[in-house]
Amino acid sequence: MSIGCSVGGGVSLIELADTYGTPLLVYDLNRVEANYRALVDNTGARVYYSIKANGNLALLRFLRSLGAGADASSPGEIYLALRAGFRPGDIMYTGSFLSNTEIEYGIRAGVTFNFDSIRAFEKALGLGYEPRLVFFRVDLGYGRGFTHGVTLAGEDSKFGMFINDAIEAYRLAKLKGAVEYGIHAMMGSNVLDADYFLKIANLLRESARVIEDKVGVKITHYDMGGGFGIPYKPGEPELDLSKLRGLRGYFPGELIIEPGRFIVGNAGYLLVRVTEVKRKGRKTYVGVEAGMNVLIRPMLYGAYHHMVNCSNPSGDVEVVDVVGPICENTDKLAVDRELARVREGDLLVILNAGAYVYSMSSNYNGRLRPPEVVVYGRNHALARRGESLEDLVKGQEIPWFIK
């Protein structure tokens, strides 16, 4: 886990904050590239980047240039992928409980469908979908999430279908003229145990064999989904990618993975200025410019994000709560956190802010989303402007009958 106050080829985060203002999200493309290549080199897989982690167009275009495909869960994410230059055939469309309109969008776009249920496949057929290469999402009955809210397998998970329904789906696809077949399973969320992925690979291969025997088809594409984890807390072990070399040649066909967090998570930094330090009884509250409107993971999941005071990195340590400006008492980015002594105006850097930060942000309390900057080597540039107050009313109209 990097805890420095510079990124890329030595670009100072303090200088970036002074140049672009704060709050600010910074993405280190050097780290993105290293993460991408590490996964490819160790697994030998084709990577379809999970757009839901971070849909910034600059990141998408950069990953496309490295050879990645795109994993989309909605028409909006398909649109982003196309705008970034991905070819339709390099976009995997994995949605759950899609409406007819959303299915039709994917058909018109010409992307590869990964169907979450046999009913979704039936609806697509009724809307004119002609299967050639088709994937189905199978629930292997085994999936690990880092918290209860991200359960990914079993009856308590809304995703995928059990093997008996999958068999019927493949039979229908064969009947309707499919030529190539893929199988997909969601492995987990932020898993750091490499052996876990090898177990999922075995379950996926065995499920594919059952389907092939029952239906009389050949599955040639094996999609293990995402779930590759990154350490958020100091001292947490990193995912041992060397163990994933066991995935090379494991399947009798193409191996596909859909990482998001692993590629961009530790490449992102949220820069915020301290607005106020308040002492209240035994508590010390450090107020910063952005809260749950930008980084909701601590409030939603109890997630941990490490923080560094880049204005005073070696100062005496004190225990504080780092809080945002939102009118909710749950708007706490860190509770009882040890930080180098903080003063008003200091620059705090929140690490691992590349995934599920901007993509989960909102305008709650009329707060504006921050700008995003990308860094590559010594170069840096704005990748998305910060919102203005005018953006809060974009698309809104006051009906004529309201005085």
Active-site residues, by number, are: 327
Please give the Cα distance from 137 to 94 (Å, whole number). 8
| Residue for token pair 């704005």 | 382
Q: Identify the bridge partners of residue 379 per DSSP, sorted by sequence position.
A: 376
Q: Identify the bridge partners of residue 276 per DSSP, sorted by sequence position.
A: 287
Encoding tokens for residue 262?
A: 């692993």
Please give the Cα distance from 290 to 368 (Å, whole number). 9
Encoding tokens for residue 353?
A: 């802010």
Phi, psi of 376 (to 5 degrees): -140, 110
Does residue 117 sit in helix, strand or coil? coil
Any idea of the CA torsion for 55, 59, 61, 67, to the nearest 10 degrees? -110
Would you tell me how many other CB atoms lie within 10 Å of the CB of residue 140? Answer: 21
Please give the Cα distance from 298 to 293 (Å, whole number). 11
Please give the Cα distance from 300 to 287 (Å, whole number). 19
Please give the Cα distance from 67 to 54 (Å, whole number). 17
Indicate if the alpha-carbon torsion angle 53, 55, 58, 60 is positive or negative.
Answer: positive
